[in-house]
């Protein structure tokens, strides 16, 4: 697959189109411009779940004086943090970052514009959010505009956590994930859980083309029980082309899901996995 920095997809991995070149820009404009025609929408579906779960986790008395932090895994430009802690919708973000006003700005101007925008919309129930993503520019932007309290770029698929990330994980009580299930494995979760010092909850929206079993088992090894309603799916985005659709239909069938009215209708669908400490009764 050819790579284009101005448009199109940037490759294929395991049959799914990749968008690597929009993950490491100095600001989120290319990300939203590229994903808008594909109607990438999973952060919108996750928003109410992450808000409710963060509130429940914050209300849990775990004996620590400070509220637990949320760690948004594969956080990119801080989209889930924006939707969690601000009166903002994903549609607002698409409109903002693809607007003609935004196109005229330098990254520095956009940063200043965003800082004010998010500060004005900050919710009274905002919780601390840490972000982890291998893209330095993306997390730097999210941190600069105030979406992330702290940002990390450790690639836990390849290296152990830095001491700084290790210390931060001791404050985390909830891990959230959208759009990252194709990039990370149980290895990342095992590392994160090994450093947890407070009860850890995990809420993840993961494509039906991917088996969550290895991650579920890794979480179970740390005492977390995972629930998922396989009848309830959440659309992630339109397919880039018929090749990608064929791949997705085959992949979901291989995992015993029915693609009718879902992948066959033209979009990737996700399942929602919620893990909390408890006995593993699944097997």
Helix (H) or strand (E) holding 83: helix 79-85
Closest to ligand SAM by CB, 159 or 260: 159
**Contact by Cβ (8 Å): 129, 171:** no
**Contact by Cβ (8 Å): 46, 236:** no
String of DSSP letters for 24-56: SSSSTHHHHHHHTTTT--HHHHHHHHHHHHHHH
Instruction: Find the part of the chain contacting ligand SAM (CB under 6 A) among 3-11, 71-79, 107-115, 254-262.
Output: 71-79
Q: How far is the CB of 185 from ligand SAM (least distance, A)?
A: 9
Instruction: Find the part of the chain contacting ligand SAM (CB under 6 A) among 132-140, 193-201, 213-221, 270-278.
Output: 132-140
233 binds ligand SAM (CB under 6 A): no
Q: How far apart are CA 192 and CA 157, in angstroms?
A: 11
Binders of ligand SAM among residues 151 to 190 (CB under 6 A) are 155, 157, 178-180, 183-184
135 binds ligand SAM (CB under 6 A): yes
In the numeric block, which tokens belong to residue 75? 């956080």
Phi and psi for 103 in degrees, rounded to 5? -65, -25
Closest to ligand SAM by CB, 146 or 179: 179
End-to-end CA distance of the chain: 41
27 binds ligand SAM (CB under 6 A): no
Q: How far is the CB of 278 from ligand SAM (least distance, A)?
A: 26
Question: Which chain residues interact with ligand SAM by CB under 6 A?
Answer: 23, 42-43, 74-76, 79-80, 132-135, 138, 155, 157, 178-180, 183-184
């Amino acid at each position: 697959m050819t790579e284009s920095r101005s448009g199109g997809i940037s490759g294929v991995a395991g049959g799914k189109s990749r968008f690597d070149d929009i993950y490491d820009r100095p600001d989120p404009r290319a990300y939203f411009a590229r994903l808008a025609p594909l109607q990438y929408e999973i952060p919108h579906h996750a928003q109410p779940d992450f808000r409710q779960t963060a509130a429940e986790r914050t209300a849990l008395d775990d004996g620590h004086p400070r509220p637990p932090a949320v760690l948004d895994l594969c956080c990119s430009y801080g989209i889930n943090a924006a939707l969690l802690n601000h009166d903002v919708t994903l549609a607002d973000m698409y409109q903002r970052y693809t607007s003609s006003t935004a196109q005229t700005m330098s990254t520095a101007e956009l940063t200043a514009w965003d800082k004010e925008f998010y500060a004005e919309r900050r919710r009274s129930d905002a919780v601390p959010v840490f972000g982890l993503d291998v893209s330095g520019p993306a997390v730097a932007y999210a941190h600069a505009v105030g979406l992330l309290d702290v940002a990390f770029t450790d690639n836990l698929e390849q290296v152990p956590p830095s001491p700084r990330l290790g210390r931060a994980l001791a404050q985390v009580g909830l891990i959230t994930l959208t759009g990252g299930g194709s990039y990370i494995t149980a290895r990342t979760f095992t590392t994160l859980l090994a450093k947890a010092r407070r009860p850890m909850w995990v809420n993840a929206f993961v494509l039906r083309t991917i088996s969550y079993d290895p991650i579920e088992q890794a979480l179970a090894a740390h005492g977390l029980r995972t629930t998922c309603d396989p009848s309830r799916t959440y659309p992630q985005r339109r397919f880039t082309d018929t090749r990608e659709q064929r791949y997705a239909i085959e992949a979901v069938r291989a995992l015993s899901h029915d693609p009718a009215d879902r992948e066959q209708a033209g979009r990737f669908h996700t399942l929602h996995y919620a893990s909390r400490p408890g006995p593993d009764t699944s097997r």
